[in-house]
Amino acid sequence: MGLSKSEVFSEADNRMADLAKAFAHPARVAILRLLAQRKACVCGDLVDELPLSQATVSQHLKELKRIGIIQGSIDPPRVCYCINEQVWEEAEEAFGGVFALFSKVGCC
């Protein structure tokens, strides 16, 4: 079908999947790296740093905003994006929690 049956999974798994989507495309990884290091903030600077059109970058920024991991504050005519600290830490803890589940005791 193409639609992920999100209603049959736990809230935690759905949120985790959404947070992972923020990192599931190289352009978004690049954007998040830049913002985390504060090497760029204004949308135009991000476009300059990335090998993608302005429209495409804007779309990735929209997706990151939807997830909540970044936020934008307007400074006309510019828009300055930055990491949303709370969601960033939520993601850090979510991944940390899953990675911590694994205990290395061979099974197969």
Partner DNA sequence: ATTTTGCATCGCAATATTACGATGATATAT
Partner DNA sequence: ATATATCATCGTAATATTGCGATGCAAAAT
Beta strands in the chain (DSSP E): 70-75, 78-83
Q: How many residues bind DNA (CB under 7 A)?
A: 29
Nearest alpha-carbon partner for 95 in 17, 3, 4, 26? 17
43 binds its own copies (CB under 8 A): no
* Least distance (Å) between residue 97 CB and DNA: 21
**Would you count residue 32 as binding its own copies (CB under 8 A)?**
yes
**34 near DNA (CB under 7 A):** no
Nearest of 76, 53, 81 to residue 65 by alpha carbon: 81
Tell me which of 2, 51, 76, 77 binds its own copies, using CB under 8 A.
51
Q: Of 24, 31, 19, which Cα lies nearest the Cα of 88?
A: 19
Number of residues near its own copies (by CB under 8 A): 51
Q: Please tell me whether residue 106 binds DNA under the rule CB under 7 A.
A: no
